[in-house]
Amino acid sequence: MTAAVAPKVESPTQAALRVEDLSLSYVVRGIPRPVLRGVTFEVKAGESYGLVGESGCGKSTTAYAAVRYLPRNAVITGGRILVDGDDITKMNAEQVRRFRMLHASMVYQDPGAALNPTTKVGPQVVEAFTVLGQSKRVAEENALKALRRVQIADPERVAQRYPHQLSGGMQQRVVIAIALASDPKLLVLDEPTTGLDATVEASVLDLVRTLQAETNAAVLLIAHNLGVIRTLCDRVGVMYAGKIVEEGDAATVFENPQHPYTLGLLRSLPRRGIRKSQRPLSTIPGNLPQIGTPLPTCVFVDRCPLADELCRTVEPPIVEVGQGQWTRCHHRDRLGQLVEPPPVAGHEAILGDLNLTLSNVSKTFHQSGHDVPALVKVSLDLHDGETLGLVGESGSGKSTLAKTILGIESPDAGADIELDEHALAAKSAGRPTADKRSMQMVFQNPDSALNRGWTGRQILARSVSKLTGLRGKAVSERVDKLAADLRLTQRHLDLKPRQLSGGLKQRLAIARAFAGDPRIVVADEPTSALDVSVQAAILNLLSELQLRSKTSYLLISHDLGVVRYLADRIAVMYLGRIMEVGSSETIFTGPNHPYTEALLSAVPNVDGEDRHRILLSGEIPSPANPPTGCVFNTRCPRVIRGLCEVTEPPLVEVEPGHLMSCHIPVDELRRLQTKAQREDLVLTTPPESIEAAAAQGVDPLP
């Protein structure tokens, strides 16, 4: 990984950003509620510092405080924030404005919202330079340079576009170009890659690292994805309830955590290829303390398995571990007592009976006279009790496939979807109750999936009576059983969704999907809206339920760790086509389709394994105008000129149970991919020229 070669800068006398004992409260209805309780850390010039922790721990507040960009009701109750020696907490409005103009910049989570949709990209970048006092001419030159600097190959043309005409990755590059215009001493990145696909994320992270080395800026990175932090950061601080509980070199902290919370976070991740058949994931029981509740001693005490009387009475001091790592824990020496959960039996890969077969499923959307094929001749099957993972970049047709199977969208003529050997009606409304009962769905966002006007009990009871036909007491018995299976208490059932935490809401949504003992549950990104500790609990529950009920899952996820943990087989989709299908082991060990290979290599890894990274050229072409031949040929690093652009390779079984759609023979792929561990691949075409061509609907490689 290239992180290892990022140049380390000589430690200057002064830190670029120094936060000293910062305390901050939000005043809600006249009552101050403490959010930060004495945060201290520093970031040196040229260094990148990551803050991690569950949502609500105060990491974003810290980041926004570092540029003094806080909501009106935020009150700094103690401490200082020094940027390059200046205390920004004491500045007046004009000084803050100049400070932000000259010394600090921020990159936000959603680049689409950070750019003005009514103005072309060029003027927005130019503006970043004119505020610095440059003449329009100079600013325009600098803007083009800035765009080139963020590796936009054709800045003149990109400058003429409106933000919505650019892809998410390109938008984020533009935002970064604007952020770097003033050559800031401090760059704050708030979840910069969260909305982006893994392949795009990888290239944005590479870009940030390169630019940081160039500009020698101090980078403060907020990300919930620990892999991103590991990839980008030199040092990391773990936050919990408004305090940093552990700090150190990113590699050291992730390899050798010294605080029970850090250990819990890392262990709740599905990593190092762990699968459901091995053991459940570790979880951190309980929730973050509510904002504003008093925390006298160790902030983590209520959720810590090691907590004892000492932890409740004496605030743990900072314990130096060495190499700049420290932790706030009394019982560092007892961390070894925390063991991972014991393995569960019964997940042996026994392929059950076939329950769902799709053949020739296509779906074409009609948009203002254009045909946009979202699915092209997809054939798949699903067996009892297995999980089929669907992976691919956004726009690859994963969700459309799920919706088509469920009957939310109807497929084009000629498609055949069979459940237990009888054909299913195209639309859900036309299917008998038994079929509806057999297939249910768990949605990505439980806030949207649960009716906020209903209590949990009403939500479950309605699904039970509608799907099973039970009445009266039988319904409430079934509801109680579902709730018990999902570890929901009676009290939770009487609350409305907004009174429940994200994890509880998702458990309620899962309980609803299981109301009628379904044969198949479609789970569309079931954990992506959740914190990792909650994600672990949900994944455990899903695999436990599957073990008991032999339900099949169709799992859509962009998180390959999640897919690897839960899936028995994996289908890789690209532009509405299946590129590769195989058992989880086959997919993760290879040989792979070149697209799968790139997808796997792009994921930022918490374990920081030295792994070969394939940067995919450009972004996914428009499905309205797919490339000729193999649809992946425009981005494929292993493209065979004269063949791949002409003929589309069929999806054939290359090994038992392993299907692939590639012209390169599987043995050749195996040889190439072993070799690739040592040798860099050369990109066949510069990324942006393809992207630009694709955006214009022109085939770049005629």
Partner 1 sequence: MVESIAPSPLPAPVTTPTTSTISERAQARRELLRVLFRRPSFLIGVAVILVWVLCAILGERITPYDPFNAFFKGHTPPSIDHLFGTDRLGRDVLSRVMVGSRDVLIVAPLAALLGVAVGTFLGLVMGYYRGFVDDVLSRVVEAFLALPVILVALLTLVVLGSSSVVVVFVVGLLFAPIVARTVRSAVLSERQLDYVTAAKLRGESGLFILSREIFPNVLGPTVVELTVRFGYAIFTVATLSFLGVGLQPPSPDWGLSVSQEYANMVAGIWWPTLFPALAIASTVIAVNLIADSLQSVLNE
- Record the tokens describing residue 503, joined without a space: 């994890």
Of 46, 111, 503, 621, which lies in the binding site for partner 1, with binding defined by CB under 8 A? 503
Residue 262 within binding range of partner 1, rule CB under 8 A: no
- Record the tokens describing residue 488, joined without a space: 């929901």
Q: What are φ and ψ of residue 357, in 5° steps?
A: -130, 135
* Smallest separation, CB 68 to partner 1 (Å): 26
Of 88, 170, 281, 573, which lies in the binding site for partner 1, with binding defined by CB under 8 A? 281
Residue 71 within binding range of partner 1, rule CB under 8 A: no
Residue numbers 297-326 binding partner 1 by CB under 8 A: 305-306
- Record the tokens describing residue 73, joined without a space: 């009701």
Are 397 and 365 in contact, with CB atoms under 8 Å apart? Answer: no
Of 283, 557, 633, 661, which lies in the binding site for partner 1, with binding defined by CB under 8 A? 283
Pairing outcome for strands 652-655 and 658-660: antiparallel
Nearest residue (CB) to partner 1, 18 versus 331: 331
Residue 541 within binding range of partner 1, rule CB under 8 A: yes
Residue 264 within binding range of partner 1, rule CB under 8 A: yes
Residue 153 within binding range of partner 1, rule CB under 8 A: no
Nearest residue (CB) to partner 1, 229 versus 288: 288
Residue 453 within binding range of partner 1, rule CB under 8 A: yes
What number of other Cβ atoms are within 10 A of residue 447's Cβ?
15
Of 203, 463, 592, 633, which lies in the binding site for partner 1, with binding defined by CB under 8 A? 463
Residue numbers 565-604 binding partner 1 by CB under 8 A: none
Nearest residue (CB) to partner 1, 151 versus 268: 268
What number of other Cβ atoms are within 10 A of residue 644's Cβ?
25
Instruction: Give the interface segment with partner 1, choosing from 114-122, 370-378, 497-505, 654-662 (CB under 8 A).
Output: 497-505
Nearest residue (CB) to partner 1, 102 versus 295: 295
Q: How far is Cα 569 from Cα 573, in angstroms, rounded to an integer?
A: 13
* Smallest separation, CB 344 to partner 1 (Å): 8
Nearest residue (CB) to partner 1, 557 versus 601: 557
Residue 451 within binding range of partner 1, rule CB under 8 A: yes
Number of residues forming the site for partner 1 (CB under 8 A) = 64
Are 639 and 700 in contact, with CB atoms under 8 Å apart? Answer: no
Residue 696 within binding range of partner 1, rule CB under 8 A: no
Residue 530 within binding range of partner 1, rule CB under 8 A: no
> How many Cα atoms sit within 13 Å of 611 on the Cβ side?
18
Nearest residue (CB) to partner 1, 173 versus 398: 398
Give the SS3 label for residue 574.
Answer: strand
Partners of 524 in the β-ladder:
556
* Smallest separation, CB 61 to partner 1 (Å): 21
Residue 406 within binding range of partner 1, rule CB under 8 A: yes
Of 95, 116, 160, 499, which lies in the binding site for partner 1, with binding defined by CB under 8 A? 499
Of 426, 495, 615, 640, which lies in the binding site for partner 1, with binding defined by CB under 8 A? 495
Are 162 and 117 in contact, with CB atoms under 8 Å apart? Answer: yes
Q: Residue 154 burial by CB count (10 A; 0-12/13-18/19+): exposed, middle or buried?
A: middle
- Record the tokens describing residue 173, joined without a space: 């590059």
* Smallest separation, CB 448 to partner 1 (Å): 4
Residue numbers 329-358 binding partner 1 by CB under 8 A: 336-342
Nearest residue (CB) to partner 1, 491 versus 678: 491
Of 466, 550, 612, 670, which lies in the binding site for partner 1, with binding defined by CB under 8 A? 466
Nearest residue (CB) to partner 1, 22 versus 245: 245
Residue 138 within binding range of partner 1, rule CB under 8 A: no
| C-alpha angle 129-135-136 in degrees, rounded to nearest 5 | 75
Q: How far is Cα 590 from Cα 511, in angstroms, rounded to an integer?
A: 36
Binding characters for partner 1, 408-447, by CB under 8 A (x = yes): x-------------------xx-x-x--x--xxx-xxx--
Residue 278 within binding range of partner 1, rule CB under 8 A: no
Q: Of 319, 322, 302, whose CA–CA distance to 311 is shortest?
A: 302
Buried b (16+ CB within 10 A) or exposed e, 18-51: bbbebbbbbeeeeeeebbbbebbbbbbbbbbbbb
Tell me which H or E stretch contains 491: helix 490-493
Sign of CA dihedral 46, 48, 22, 194: positive
Residue 540 within binding range of partner 1, rule CB under 8 A: yes
* Smallest separation, CB 459 to partner 1 (Å): 8
Are 163 and 177 in contact, with CB atoms under 8 Å apart? Answer: no
Q: How far is Cα 433 from Cα 516, in angstroms, rounded to an integer?
A: 10
What number of other Cβ atoms are within 10 A of residue 640's Cβ?
15
Residue 289 within binding range of partner 1, rule CB under 8 A: no
What number of other Cβ atoms are within 10 A of residue 285's Cβ?
11
Question: Which amino acid, one-letter code, is at 608?
Answer: G
Residues contacting 513, CB < 8 A, separation 6+: 440, 441, 442, 521
Nearest residue (CB) to partner 1, 441 versus 662: 441
Instruction: Give the interface segment with partner 1, choosing from 99-107, 270-278, 400-408, 663-671 (CB under 8 A).
Output: 400-408
Residues contacting 159, CB < 8 A, separation 6+: 120, 121, 122, 125, 143, 144, 147
Pairing outcome for strands 104-107 and 86-87: unpaired
Q: Of 42, 48, 43, whose CA–CA distance to 21 is shortest?
A: 42
Nearest residue (CB) to partner 1, 383 versus 487: 487
State the residues that interact with partner 1 by CB under 8 A.
Answer: 29, 264, 280-287, 305-306, 336-342, 406-408, 428-429, 431, 433, 436, 439-441, 443-445, 448-454, 462-463, 466-467, 487-489, 491-492, 494-496, 499, 501, 503-504, 512, 515-516, 533-534, 537, 540-541
